[in-house]
Amino acid sequence: MKLHGAIISPNVRKVIVTCLLKGIDFESITVIPGPDLKKPEFLKLNPLGMIPVLEDDDLTIGDSNIIMQYLDDKYPDVSVYPIDVKDRARARWLSEYAGSALLPCCGVMFREVLVKPNYYKQPTDEQAVNETVNEKFPPVLDYLEEQTPATGLLFGEQICIADINVVSMLVTAKYGGYSVDGERWPKLSAYVHRVLSLPAFKQCLAAEKELLNKITA
Ligand SMILES: N[C@@H](CCC(=O)N[C@@H](CS)C(=O)NCC(=O)O)C(=O)O
Convert the pLDDT of each residue in 17-75 to its tens digit.
999 999 999 999 999 999 999 999 999 999 999 999 999 999 999 999 999 999 999 99
CATH number of 85-216: 1.20.1050.10
Instruction: Indicate the pLDDT class of residue 211, thresholds 50, 70 and 90.
Output: confident
Helices 199-216 and 161-175: angle between axes, nearest 10 degrees = 30
* Inter-residue contact 19 to 26 (CB < 8 Å): yes
Span 95-108, average pLDDT: 98
pLDDT value of residue 131: 98
Fold of 2-74: Glutaredoxin (3.40.30)
Annotate 134-166 with DSSP letters as a single string: IIIHHHHHHHHHHH--SSSBTTBSS--HHHHHH
Does 202 score more than 90 pLDDT?
A: yes
Q: Cis omega (within 30 of 0) on the bond before 10? A: no
Residue 55 is given by DSSP the state E
Is any atom of ligand 1 closer than 6 Å to the C-beta of 37? yes
Does 99 score more than 90 pLDDT?
A: yes
Longest CA span, the chain: 50
pLDDT value of residue 173: 98
In the chain, domain spans: 2-74, 85-216
Is any atom of ligand 1 closer than 6 Å to the C-beta of 176? no
* Inter-residue contact 3 to 29 (CB < 8 Å): yes
pLDDT value of residue 216: 85
pLDDT one-digit tens code per residue, 120-138: 999 999 999 999 999 999 9
Which residues, in sequence order, are CB contacts of 34 under 8 Å at separation 6+? none
Does 101 score more than 90 pLDDT?
A: yes
C-alpha atoms less than 13 angstroms from C-alpha of 58 in its C-beta half-sphere: 0
Of the chain, the percentage scoring pLDDT greater than 90 comes to 97
pLDDT value of residue 161: 98
Residue type, 185: W
Does 187 score more than 90 pLDDT?
A: yes
Closest ligand 1 atom, residue 6 Cα: 9
Does 217 score more than 90 pLDDT?
A: no
pLDDT one-digit tens code per residue, 140-173: 999 999 999 999 999 999 999 999 999 999 999 9
- Residue from 7, 11, 30, 211 to probe ligand 1 pocket by mutation (most atoms less than 8 Å from CB): 11
Of the chain, the percentage scoring pLDDT greater than 70 comes to 100
Question: Dihedral (C-alpha) 7, 24, 163, 28: value to the nearest 10 degrees?
Answer: 10
SS3 9: coil
pLDDT value of residue 5: 97
pLDDT value of residue 69: 98
Is any atom of ligand 1 closer than 6 Å to the C-beta of 65? yes
pLDDT value of residue 72: 98
pTM: 0.97
Is any atom of ligand 1 closer than 6 Å to the C-beta of 10? yes
- Residue from 17, 51, 53 to probe ligand 1 pocket by mutation (most atoms less than 8 Å from CB): 51
Smallest CA-to-CA distance from 102 within 27, 206, 40, 11 is with: 11
